[in-house]
Structures are given as C-alpha cells and as structure tokens.
A and B are shown apart, each in its own frame.
Chain A
Amino acid sequence: MIEIKTVETRNLCESAKNGGCGECQTSCQSACKTSCGIANQNCEKKESK
C-alpha cells in the first residue's frame, strides 16, 4: 500500500473569500523583533476558518 496522508490545513485559496479583516497581529510585533514570519501567527477571525 502506497501511503499518502493528507494533513488537515487551512485552505488558503478559500481564505481569499473571507479573509483580510486585518485584526491579526503585526508580523514581528511583540515577540522576535528582528525577523519576519507570519507562520506563527493566529487568525483573529475565528469564524472564517
């Protein structure tokens, strides 16, 4: 049996329809302060997921 397991992720294409509220944290604000990354940020718009 060849294994292909799809992990549950947020559908980024779908998020184009209802995202963009702008409430989420600014990228390096409040934490690292010296590099940019948005991967570790949370979406503030809970109902959109």
Chain B
Amino acid sequence: MIHQYKLCGYNIVLDVCSGSIHAVDDIAYDMIAGFEREPREALISALLSRYADRTTEDELNGAYEQLLALKAAGKLFTEDSYAPMAGALKAKTAGVIKALCLHVAHVCNLNCSYCFASQGKYHGERALMSFETGRRALDFLVEHSGSRKNLEVDFFGGEPLMNFQVVKDLVAYARSIEPETGKHFRFTLTTNGMLVDDDVIEFANRECHNVVLSLDGRKEIHDRFRKDYAGNGSWDRIVPKFQKFVEARGGKGYYMRGTFTHANPDFLQDIQAMLDLGFTELSMEPVVCAPDDPSALTEADKPIVMEQYEKLAELMLERDAEGRPFTFYHYMIDLKGGPCIYKRISGCGSGTEYMAVTPWGDLYPCHQFVGEEAFRLGDIYHGVSNHAVQDQFAACNVYAREECRTCWARLYCSGGCAANAYHATGRINGVYAYGCDLFKKRMECALMLAVARQLKETE
C-alpha cells in the first residue's frame, strides 16, 4: 500500500507496510501513482506526453526500472503481512503491567470548564490518595511488571501538586526499592502550574523524567477556560512559574501542553505565544469532550485546524533554517529508530500494560476511563477482576477495526485512542473519524518534516 501526497514543496511517497519513504519529483510521483494500475508502455507513453518538455522516454524507462528495483527490495508496494502478528505482543506480555497513572488528587485548584476529568473529580467525589495507597500501587506495579526494567509512573489528577507531600514520599519509596527489585522508575508530573514553587522545581528536576505543563497559549485563550473557582484566569500567575521551571530543567524533558477548542481552531497563534514566552517543547491537543459541548470542535473548524497544522510545519521549517528549532509533540518522529512493528500494530496498551489508579486504589484501563464504572478493572489490592473488560482492551489492535485495516496511517496511530473511540461511538473498538482526520494530517506534516530534515542533512 502506498500513500502519496504533496506538502511544502515535497512530494512524499510512503510505502506503508515497509515504512520506506521516498521524496520524488512530479514525474516519479505520477509514475508511482499509475504503477500498479497501468501497463508499463501505457504509463510511460502517458507520462511522456504530460512531461514532454522535461523528460525523455529513456529517462522514464530508467525511472521505471528504479521503481521495480525498489519493489523487489521491499521498499515499494510492500504487502501487509502483519495481521497474524497483531495480538502477538499483547499475548506475549499478558498480565504484565509496566505503567501506572496515579491519580494522587481528585481535586483541582482550577475550574476549567472543558476538563475531561470534570474539574479533577472524574464525576465522583473529591479525594486525595494516601501514601499507603500509593505505596501499594507501586508495589502492585512491581509485582506485575514481569521482566520489564523500566516502569513508568505519572502523577496525575486533578492537580497532583495538591498532594505534593505524598508525591515526594512515593518517589522516595520507589527509589528505595529500585536496587532490590532491579527496576527503574520513570516519573512524570502533569501540572497546571498554580502550586509550582522552588521546592517543586527542585524535586521535579531531580526526579521527573518529564513534566507536562498545562498552558493554552495566548492569555485570552488560556484564561477563557483555565480559571480558578473565583472566576479569575490563571495565565498571569502560572506563566512566570513555568518560565522559571523550564529554565531550571536544564534540558531535561518537558512539554508545554495546550488544548485547543472551538474557541481557538487557529491554534498556531497559541503555539506562537508559547514560543514568544521562550518555550520550545510544545504540544497542542484537540479538546476531548462531548459533541454537544460548546467547546467541541465542529466540522466547520476542521479545515481551519488542517490549515493550521500545515502552517505549523512551515513555521518549523523556517525556524530550522534560522537555527531556532522547536519541537511539536505530534511532529516528533524518528524514521530510523521508531517503534518496531509489534508495537505499531498492538494498540495503545491501555487496560493491559497501562492502567490508572484512583485515590482509593481502583484500577481503570486508563485515566480517561476513570469514573466510568462499567470500565472498573479491579483494584491494587486484589488485582484485575473484571476480565471481560480487560479482554476487550487486550483485543484492541490495528486489525480489530475494519476502517483501520485499509488506512495508510495505521502503523503510526496503532489503532487510535480507545477512550476517544468510546466517547465518539460507544465502543472502544469504534473509530473516532474526526480524530482520525486530524491525526492523518499531523502524520503527513510530521513525515514531511522528517524527510525535509534528513534531506537537508545529506545535502
């Protein structure tokens, strides 16, 4: 299967199943488009009349031979032979858990109306996780991690810094058991910034592999949703803290993570606002909410968002050329060293290798399912008991959805987000088509950027 497109002056040909990518001129682009549906002579003859001023029959035959060689080398028109392997990784690692999202605080000091976690409460009671519950969660993770060495733990909420002492104590506990268990914990903290101070910065920079800092970009956009309970926007209070935080990270991982909604489909202006504030590791996510929510993205927003993604890619190329590069989370792609095929077809891992833990120790397939009682998997004391639901998640993979089987982007999204699918269709193995359209556009931009950068390197 081939996916070919033109973007920012590049003609990109993706051989979906091998992962090979070719940057070609217009003539080769058209030749590849017709390669499988037209006989050689007819194709060359048609191209010769279309490009008479630019090429010759000999050149066209040479290019055709090149395509034949690429096909023989498994770099073009590669057949999909992966379907039988779709369940292999999950079957091999069945019962192994390697990542937990610890909901240390189902409370929040902001009252963002678009919050998928309903202001941190996840449609339930306000609660803080005790140290004892958190410690048991970490022990549960170690007990179920099999031979996995790297274990990931996110401190999430609500606002996790509203339970900072427990966060610190849990990290100290985890570090204390690393030598005896042979495990290595990678911690991540997601925060709205309100409680960031020197103590938090020092702790996070010492212990956290990554920090995710919530900022929506422009002050007026950010303050529209990200308000405190008195109705005051938080931008003025958090931005100086985030700037200090990021400066002190000294190159360690962080993301400024924004959400764009119906209020700002022109989110590139928010990316620009983050850049103007000195941030360079950026992420902007489409809002996750019910379709009838006023902040939900509409069909009319979609072309705007698509154009913004393209303009963002153009901006990144410009900034590269100026020696001022920046990172956009969804455009990060390592063509030479990305995930293996098993990972690409296995689905996201929610409910199997990754689970969320509530303040009282209940297990859910991921943070986005917390509060959906039907999806409760069990708890950290007795393990997974709801095997029927877990089996559904274990069966989620690229080939479980008819729409994905023929989608060119399937080896980059791994079948999509189960929570998005559930909220859009009522089924975790449904397809959230709007999200797919945005994802495909992001992948086209990401691949183009990676190609552009690699070609510049080799020039």
Q: With a CB–CB cut-off of 8 A, which chain A residues contact B415?
A: 36
**Would A42 and B337 count as touching, CB distance under 8 A?**
yes
**B353 and A26 within 8 A (CB):** yes
Complex: chain A residue closest to B443, CB-CB: A39
Interface residues of B (CB under 8 A from A): 17-25, 27-28, 31, 55, 59-60, 62-63, 66-67, 70, 74-75, 78, 81-82, 85, 88-89, 92-93, 96, 98-99, 101, 116, 148-150, 152, 154, 156, 186, 188, 190, 209-210, 212, 255, 257, 259, 283, 285-286, 288, 329-344, 347-350, 353-354, 366-368, 411-420, 435, 439, 442-443, 446, 450-451, 454-455
A12 touches B335 (CB 8 A): no
Q: Shortest CB–CB separation between residue B342 and chain A, in angstroms?
A: 4
Contact (A2, B27) CB under 8 Å given A10-B19, A26-B349, A39-B333: yes
**B446 closest partner in A (C-beta):** A39
CA distance A35 to B335 in the complex (A): 21
Q: What DSSP secondary structure best describes chain A's contact surface?
A: loop
B339 surroundings in chain A (CB, below 8 A)? 19, 24, 38, 41-43
**A2 CA to B99 CA in the complex, in Å?**
49
Q: Are A9 and B150 in contact (CB under 8 A)?
A: no
Are A30 and B78 in touch, CB under 8 angstroms?
no
Chain B interface mostly helix, strand, loop or mixed? Answer: mixed
A35:B420 contact, CB within 8 angstroms: yes
Assuming A4-B22, A11-B19, A43-B340, is B28 touching A22 (CB within 8 A)?
no
Scoring B62, B331, B417, B439 by chain A CB atoms within 10 A of each residue's CB, the highest score goes to: B417
Number of interface residues of A (CB under 8 A): 45
Chain B residues within 8 Å of A22, by CB: 89, 92-93, 96, 98, 148, 353
Contact with B along A8-49 (1 / 0, CB 8 A): 111111011011101111111111111111111111111011
- Hey, which chain A residues are within 8 Å of B20, CB to CB? 6-7, 9, 11
Selected from B148, B286, B338, the residue in CB contact (under 8 A) with A10 is B338
Contact call B343/A12, Cβ cutoff below 8 A? no
User: Are B59 and A30 in contact, with the CB atoms below 8 A?
Assistant: no
Contacts of A2 in B (CB 8 A): 25, 27-28, 31, 55, 59-60, 62-63
* Pairwise interchain contact A26-B152, C-beta atoms closer than 8 A: yes
A15 to B74, CA, bound (A): 13
Given contact pairs A7-B23, A9-B21, A12-B344, A30 touches B210 in the complex (Cβ within 8 A): yes
Docked Cα-Cα span, A10 to B19, in Å, equals 7
Provide the bound-state CA to CA distance between A39 and B285, in Å: 16
Chain B contacts for A48, CB-based, 8 A: 340
A23 neighbours in B (Cβ, 8 Å): 98, 148-150
- Decide: A37 near B414, CB < 8 A? Known: A5-B24, A23-B149, A30-B188: yes
Task: Name which of B25, B190, B338 has the most chain A CB atoms within 10 A of its CB.
Answer: B338
